[in-house]
Amino acid sequence: MNSNLSYQKGTFIINNLKFRNNRITNRITNVRFNSGSPKPQKYNSRGEREYTDEEAEQILKTMKSIWKDQTVSQNEKIIELFNKYEMGGLISPTASKIVSAILRDPEATVPGEKVENVQKFHQALMHYHMHKQMEYNNEEDPVFNPKKEDKKSKIQEEEDEDIKKGKKFGFKLEMENDKDAKDSKPFEFRSRQSKDKKVQFLEMELRLDTILLWLVAGGLITYTLLSEDFDKEITFQEFETSLLSKGYVDRLVVINNETVQVILNDFGKNQPIHDPRVEYYFTIGSMDTFEEKLKKSQEAYGIPEEKRIPVMYIRSTNVWKSLWGILPTVLLFGFIFWSTRKLLSNSGGIGGGLFGNKKTFKKFNADENVKITFNDVAGCNEAKEEIMEFVNFLKHPQKYERLGAKIPRGAILNGPPGTGKTLLAKATAGEAGVPFYSVSGSEFVEMFVGVGASRVRDLFKTARENAPSIVFVDEIDAIGKSRGKGKGMGGNDERENTLNQLLVEMDGFKSDDHVVVFAGTNRIDVLDPALLRPGRFDRKIYIGNPELDGRKDIFGVHLKQIKLDSECNIEDLKGRLATLTPGFSGADIANVCNEAALIAARKNDEYVKLTHFEQAIERVIGGIERKTKLLSPEEKKVVAYHEAGHAICGWYLEFADPLLKVSIVPRGQGALGYAQYLPPDIYLYTTNKLLDRMTMTLGGRVSEELHFESVTSGAADDFEKVTSMAQRMVLACGLSPKIGLISYDMDRGNDYTKPFSDKTASVIDEEIHRIVSECYNRCRKLLTEKSGEVEKVAERLLKKEVITREDMIELLGKRPFPNRNDAFDKYLASKLEEPESKVEKKDDEKKDDDKKDDEKKD
In the DSSP assignment, the letter for residue 657 is P
Residue 671 has phi, psi (to 5 degrees) of -75, 120
Closest CA to 233 of 285, 284, 281, 290: 281
Helices 699-707 and 687-697, packing angle to 10 deg:
40
Q: How many CB atoms lie within 10 A of CB 63?
A: 22
C-alpha distances in angstroms, 745 versus 520, 752, 754, 760?
27, 12, 10, 14
In one letter, which amino acid is 257? N
Residue 573 near residue 564, CB atoms below 8 Å: yes
Q: Bridge-partner residues for 49, per DSSP?
A: 43
**Concatenated DSSP letters for 357-411?**
-S--SEEE-TTTT----GGG--S-HHHHHHHHHHHHHHH-HHHHHTTT-----EE
C-alpha distances in angstroms, 49 versus 97, 486, 775?
11, 79, 92
In one letter, which amino acid is 856? K
Q: Cα separation of 261 and 246, whole Å?
A: 17
Contacts of 93 (CB under 8 A, 6+ apart): 44, 48, 49, 50, 51
Q: Cα separation of 221 and 219, whole Å?
A: 5
Farthest CA pair distance, the chain: 163
230: left (phi over 0), alpha (psi -120 to 50) or beta: alpha
Output the 3-class SS for 435-455: CEEEEEHHHHCCCCCCHHHHH
795 labelled catalytic: no
Residue 201 near residue 191, CB atoms below 8 Å: yes
Contacts of 683 (CB under 8 A, 6+ apart): none
Closest CA to 115 of 125, 127, 105, 124: 105
Closest CA to 675 of 629, 718, 630, 727: 718
Cα torsion through 392, 397, 403, 407, rounded to 10: 80
Q: Cα separation of 585 and 574, whole Å?
A: 15
**Concatenated DSSP letters for 776-840?**
HHHHHHHHHHTHHHHHHHHHHHHHHSEEEHHHHHHHH-S-SS--S-HHIIIIIIHHHHHHHHHHH
176, 443, 475, 643: which one is catalytic?
643
Cα torsion through 605, 610, 612, 615, rounded to 10: -160
Q: Cα separation of 416 and 395, whole Å?
A: 30
Number of alpha helices (DSSP H) and beta strands (DSSP E) in the chain: 30, 20
Residue 753 has phi, psi (to 5 degrees) of -85, 150
What amino acid positions are annotated as catalytic residues?
A: 643
